[in-house]
Structure 1
Amino acid sequence: MKDISSQPPSNSNNSRHASIVEMLSTPPAIPQQPPSNVELEAISLSRTGSSASLDSQMSATTSCLTKVHTQKWQHIPLSQLIEQNKLIFVDAAISVEEAFNTLVRHNLTSVPVEQFPGDMNCFTFDYNDLNSYLLLVLNKIQVNDPQVARDCQMGKPVPVGKIVKLTPKNQFHKLREVDNLTTAMSLLGSGVHRVAITDPASTQIRGVLSQRRLTKYLWDNARQFSNLQPLLNSSLKELGIGVLNSHTAPTSRQSRVISIQGEEQLIMALFKMHTERISSIAVVDHQGNLLGNISVTDVKHVTRTSQYPLLHNTCRHFISVILNSRGLEMGKDSFPIFHVYPSSSLARTLAKLVATKAHRLWIVQPENSGSSASSSSLAAPSPQSIPISTQASSSSDHENSGRSGSPISVKSLEESSPTTSTPLFEKEYRTGKLIGVVSLTDILGLLARRQTEHTQVDPQAARRQRGSVGV
């Protein structure tokens, strides 16, 4: 894979921010390990040998310092992926609000809900459940428990243990920490969002492995796994994963491209995510161009009564609210890139999924499709986000190829042009026409089929079990 991180930009200017092209590179470098005592002794002996040249001594030292133990990712035990201090349970009797505060406080996307201490078959509470709870409060959905519905609408505390049973879920799969990644890949690649990791006797849960956690682990350590390189260098089109053409009927193993118009109300986006069993939805303009992404995690922006007016404003407006919030948290205006192209490499796609912490990226056909192939083989490092700075621009940038003008600021997203019928947001941030989607499930399913004995993994299996009709 070509690494451009060391190449000078075409327009060298130390005062400007690095463009997105300059930020895109290969997987993160592996930290150099100090030489062992045995290696240091060997270097010392070589220095005293009369026949050893200075060049050979330096070569030996460099070899020791940069030596990497390469191995196959399939053999990695699950114990290596357990995040210390990340296993947090909540009691089924606590309120939904308390469970939500736990997610926020510990920066989690889900948390196991115990009916009793040591519950090995517990449900998990996540942002999909929070979205369902909000829709219940607003009397937008019906459930089989009338008492829960009444309590929600009357503002009474509702036990989280009851809410998690109202939305379709897969069984809580459990794997032992001595099992390897092959088995976990087959489950997560079938659409299961997370699995529990137990002790060898399967009597105690040690951790939870999610699709996102596994993807980040593979990306962060991609340099160690040489067998990943051919796939990382291949484009989404070459690999045939995800949906690359929304006009073609999806196969039994493909997701559907689900979107909503930017001028529709936010409450309709939340309702659509609930009914389609999806965790994010694409926002498009009237021409089908991708405007942005709304995720169930964004529900946290409308959990207070004072924020309820947002629910009846447009999805386009809500995207500007999300960006403003992110700008305040990060200290600068930014716009995460939630889209890729059919020509984008798997490496670039993985990098964006890790950087944006998303479960899916939208595949677009850029307006200027002729420029789309110029940087398709590039892949991003693993920063916490991939922002487009308001000062960064590059006419040759693949990510900017479908947009007119320079990147816009958060403030301008909330403005509309008084002289035209097209909002400024839609005029200036137009990534390209939405044609497909690729998810973590698609990628993990590909890895399972291509590099494990689980060659028949179906990425839609778990979704069908949940009664899902979407991604």
Structure 2
Amino acid sequence: MQTVEQGIVENGTLDALLNTVTCGELCKSADPMLNKAGAKPKHPLCLDAELSVTEGCEALAANKISSAPVYDAEKGGFIGMLDYRDLVAFVLSVLHKVPRDAPAIDAEMEVTDIVKRALMNKTGVPIKLVSNLSRENPLVALPASATVRTAVEEFSKNHVHRLIVLEPDQGASHFAGILSQSTVAGLVASSVGKLAGSLNPKAKSIWPTGNKTLEDVGLVGKEVISVVSEDTVLEALYMMHEHKISSVAIVTREDGENDLIGSISMTDIKAILADRKGWRRLYETCYDFFASMRYEQGLEAGGDDRVPLYVVHPNTTLIATIEKLAATRAHRVWIVSGSSNLVGVASLSDIMPLLLT
């Protein structure tokens, strides 16, 4: 079987590589356990539908992932994905912060049930009632034999960050793993970036679009959704929910410029759902919350900064941006001109369609 590393050398273009490597192969190559002698690959995480919201959030945080499929034993199958968008939608629903446009009766009853149960016990709502509450993370599955290009097309079309990979098993299919945008970014970085270039002099010509700057590909100058430091965390979550994005920048606005000073993402919801007192943090200012998260996670990491601000510039190339995203496992980097003037954002979701060009 052709290895991922061999693919780019033998096929000559990024498109050829994406059409050669399968989702199953990429999932396996991304599993660090496979690189250890005698080690078994880690079993892919799926969540029991009866877990509470708090338990679901803890599982995502403990495994350092932002979403996982939800399995309902009673129904005998997967019923959806749980991600931080759903948890944000849950928080906003409980606080009656999300306006709804005449949903179907069943949907209205479900949301009402969630709110009633949550008001009595915010930690006792099962994730089967919250999964897909945001309506922004559909469950998309691909066979392990599907090409990575097919996965990129699904990322772009369905606006999802992760796909379920299924392998055939005696006439049926079983859950083999999850393929993320980050894993695809890692493949591209290792095949076309500087490391690949040191091994293969032709790597730079494999994907001409990758040599264009962020300004060239249209990621500079678009409106960036942001909050000011005095806005509350609840307002930031509402902005993310309304605009269907997973992070907002925290800025100071002076002299017509937006100076980037921090950011809040949907994954920060874990700090709010961690305990009962966490709910009070919804009313902290965005900057205080960002600063406290930076401090607390730095302590947990033995002093390492685990809430950094990753930035690039308008003249940064697209492949250099992908390399940075792959190296940091971040989902987005902020584009700044000068030292801190925010002029754009480059997310993995922005980049996926560009891989097809």
Higher mean C-alpha deviation, range 290-299 or range 88-97: 88-97
- Kept in 2, the 8 Å contact 1:113–1:122? The answer is yes
Question: Taking structure 1 as reference, are residues 79 and 294 closer, same or farther at Cα in structure 2, changes over 3 Å only?
Answer: same
In the other structure, the counterpart of 1:237 is: 215
Segment drifting more, 150-159 vs 333-342: 333-342
Q: Name the counterpart of 1:306.
A: 277
> What is the aligned partner in structure 2 of residue 394 from structure 1?
none
1:18-417, aligned counterparts within 5 Å?
70-72=9-11, 73-74=17-18, 75-82=20-27, 83=31, 84-116=41-73, 122-141=79-98, 144=108, 145-155=111-121, 157-190=124-157, 191-200=159-168, 203-222=173-192, 223=196, 226=203, 228=206, 230-238=208-216, 240-241=217-218, 243-246=219-222, 256-287=223-254, 288-303=258-273, 304-332=275-303, 334=305, 336-366=308-338, 402=339
State the Cα deviation string for residues 176-210 of structure 1 (Å, max 9, x = none): 11222121121123323222211146622211111
Structure 1 gaps of 5+ residues are 1-29, 32-66, 247-255, 367-401, 403-430, 451-471
How far apart in 2 are the matches of 1:155 and 1:91? 19
The structure whose RCO (Cα within 8 Å, separation 6+) is larger is 1
How many percent identity over aligned positions?
Answer: 29
Distance 1:69 1:158, change over 3 A: closer
Name the CA distance, whole Å, in 2 between partners of 1:185 and 1:193.
10
C-alpha spacing 1:202/1:170, structure 2 compared with 1 (3 Å): farther
Alignment RMSD (CA, Å)? 2.7
The corresponding residue for 1:51 is none
Instruction: Report the Cα distance in structure 2 between the residues aligned to 1:138 and 1:358, rounded to whole angstroms.
Output: 29
Indicate how the Cα distance of structure 1 residues 312 and 118 shifts in structure 2: closer, same or farther if over 3 A, else same.
closer
Give a deviation string over 1:107-162, Cα, whole Å, max 9, x none.
22211112237855531101111222223343433662212111111215111111
Question: In the alignment, residue 213 of structure 2 is paired with which amino acid?
Answer: S
Deviations 1:160-184 (A, max 9, x none): 1111142213542222112221211
Change in Cα spacing, 1:228 to 1:275, as seen in structure 2 (3 Å) is same
More strand by share: 2
Larger deviation: 294-303 or 195-204? 195-204
Task: Count residues in correspondence.
Answer: 310
- What is the CA–CA distance in structure 2 between the aligned matches of 1:264 and 1:344, rounded to whole Å? 31
Q: CA deviation at 1:295?
A: 0.6
Q: Report the Cα distance in structure 1 between the residues aligned to 2:74 and 2:25, rounded to whole angstroms.
A: 26
For 2:9 and 2:137, the matched residues in 1 are separated by 35
Equivalent position amino acid for 2:129 in 1 = K
1:300 aligns to what SS in structure 2?
A: helix
Q: What is the alpha-carbon distance in structure 1 between the residues aligned to residue 81 and residue 48 of structure 2? A: 11
SS in structure 1 opposite 2:253? Answer: coil
Q: 1:354 to 1:142 in 2, by over 3 A?
A: same
Segments of 4+ in structure 1 off by > 4 A? 117-121
Larger C-alpha radius of gyration, 1 or 2? 1
By percentage of residues, which structure has more helix?
2
CA distance in 2, matches of 1:352, 1:126: 24
- 2:262 is paired with a residue of what secondary structure? strand
Q: Which runs of 5+ in 2 are unaligned?
A: 12-16, 32-40, 101-107
Q: 1:93 Cα deviation (Å)? A: 2.2
TM-score normalised by L of structure 1: 0.60
